[in-house]
Amino acid sequence: MATSKKNEVSVETGKGLRIGVIGGAGWLGGAIAAAMLDAGIVEPQNLSLSYRRECPQRFPGAFWTPDNQALADRSDVVILSVRPADWPGLNVDAEGKLLISVMAGIRLGALCKHHQTRRVIRSLPNAAAEVRKSYTPWIATPEVGGADRAIVRAVFDACGIQDEVRSEAEIDYLTGLTGSGPAFPALLAEAMMTDAVAHGLAPQVAQRAVNTLIVGAGRLLEQRDDCPTDTVKTFLDYRGTTAAAIEEMRAAGFSTAVARGLSAALQKSVRMGEAS
């Protein structure tokens, strides 16, 4: 259904914008809610969150409910933060609302049809939203106007960095690349820690060494904003111990393994969308 611009809501922080987070008791939903509160995008009394089993004791002044429709009815913006497998049973009418999905795989068309609204955002933040370091790609339906887009940018800027992308195909690919959040660096860290322990290091020493390495590398890339290719080339040109390690990892198929993993994630995202 078409929606006129008069239904769009203002992004002015602390000005009565009512936001609901379906799945607000979960890790990602709670992280997004905390980021919005800290940034002043929504006031506690205008924030609604839903839970399934036990009401969390957080976000004083916010409205908690197990009733997702009640949450939607009292919100201008509804954020869907549930597992994709649980979404088909989520019967919430969001007519007249701006709907923001943070679920992997679920297409814009399916979201519009299921929730009776044409103002829909499909996005994919990651768990790093908890520390305000998420990368969030998003895409909007044609009915999403400038005021709505400003809200989306404000919400995901509060969680880290955001980009409006050109197609749902790009969202599908980024589901694996960035949607996995800290999982891939953690996988590398796990392999390095296992090797360190195998070489006799105490587990606690290995963990501190590897965690500090990963955190330091991330901050260096962030502050210098260098292309990763340039950073790798710098170490290769130096021809030291790091170059020897990089060359051996590549020979063992490191780049191929990464590409295969990202391809598997892409295929999974496409299949999830086809099933919705």
pLDDT at 4: 37
In the chain, where does the domain assigned CATH 1.10.3730.10 lie?
183-275
- For 228: left if phi > 0, alpha if psi spans -120 to 50, otherwise beta; the answer is alpha
pLDDT in tens, 105-130: 999 999 999 999 999 999 999 999 99
pLDDT at 6: 41
Residue stretches of the chain with pLDDT short of 50: 1-6, 13-14
Which residues share a beta bridge with 161? Answer: 135
In the chain, where does the domain assigned CATH 3.40.50.720 lie?
5-165
Integer Cα distance of 209 and 106 in angstroms: 39
- Which CATH entry fits the domain spanning 183-275: 1.10.640.10, 1.10.3730.10, 1.10.10.10, 1.20.950.20? 1.10.3730.10
On whether the 5-165 domain is CATH 2.60.120.10, my answer is: no
pTM of the model: 0.87
